[in-house]
Amino acid sequence: MQIEKNAVVAIDYTLRDTEGEVLDASPEGQPLQYLHGAGNIIPGLEKALEGKTAGEDLDVNIPPEDAYGERDDRLQQDVPLSMFEGVDNVEAGMRFQAQTQSGTQVVTVAAVSGDSITVDANHPLAGQTLNFKVKVSDVREASDEELEHGHVHD
């Protein structure tokens, strides 16, 4: 079966940055499963997998605009340390959920300077070209329940 809209796809993958550093990988023997066409993976990877079949290997280089977008400086802001009440030793790299006008958003602490914290709501991989090595391990039809819910059920 070819990968097409509403197919359940299982892939083994390794994600590297442009310097070749591994950023993420599917655990050995535990492929990532997703519902194709439901927006559950980045658009560039989903597009590259369209039409592939189980057993195929591919290398895909995905530019930022087809992954997590370009970095947006407007998504960085300074907030008072008091916003982190109850958190000891706020450090750069820590991630928190913040309530914004558009709902809950994950932010990363970019810098700590005295009583001011710089938080960044950009995705950590925003602005990066992503290099995937992918093996399609399985393709099957989605169940009615999976289609209704928009994601894979184990």
Ramachandran class of 64: left when φ > 0, alpha when ψ lies in -120 to 50, beta otherwise: alpha
Q: pLDDT tens digits, residue range 37-83?
A: 999 999 999 999 999 999 999 999 999 999 999 999 999 999 999 98
Fold of 7-68+126-149: Chitinase A; domain 3 (3.10.50)
pTM here is 0.84
pLDDT band at 14 (very low <50, low <70, confident <90, very high): very high
Q: Does 2.40.10.330 match the CATH number of domain 73-120?
A: yes
CA distance 96 to 125: 16
pLDDT band at 88 (very low <50, low <70, confident <90, very high): confident
What is the residue extent of each domain of the chain?
7-68+126-149, 73-120
pLDDT band at 98 (very low <50, low <70, confident <90, very high): confident
Q: Is the pLDDT of residue 7 over 90?
A: yes
Q: Is the pLDDT of residue 100 over 90?
A: no
Residue 4 tokens, joined: 């097409």
- Average pLDDT rounded to a whole number, residues 125-139: 97
Contact criterion met (CB below 8 Å) for 26 and 34: no
DSSP the chain: -B--TTEEEEEEEEEE-TT--EEEEPPTT--EEEETTTT-S-HHHHHHHTT-BTT-EEEEEE-GGGTT----GGGEEEEEGGGGTT-SS--TT-EEEEEETTEEEEEEEEEEETTEEEEE-S-TTTT--EEEEEEEEEEEEPPHHHHHHTS---
CA distance 125 to 128: 6
CA distance 44 to 62: 6
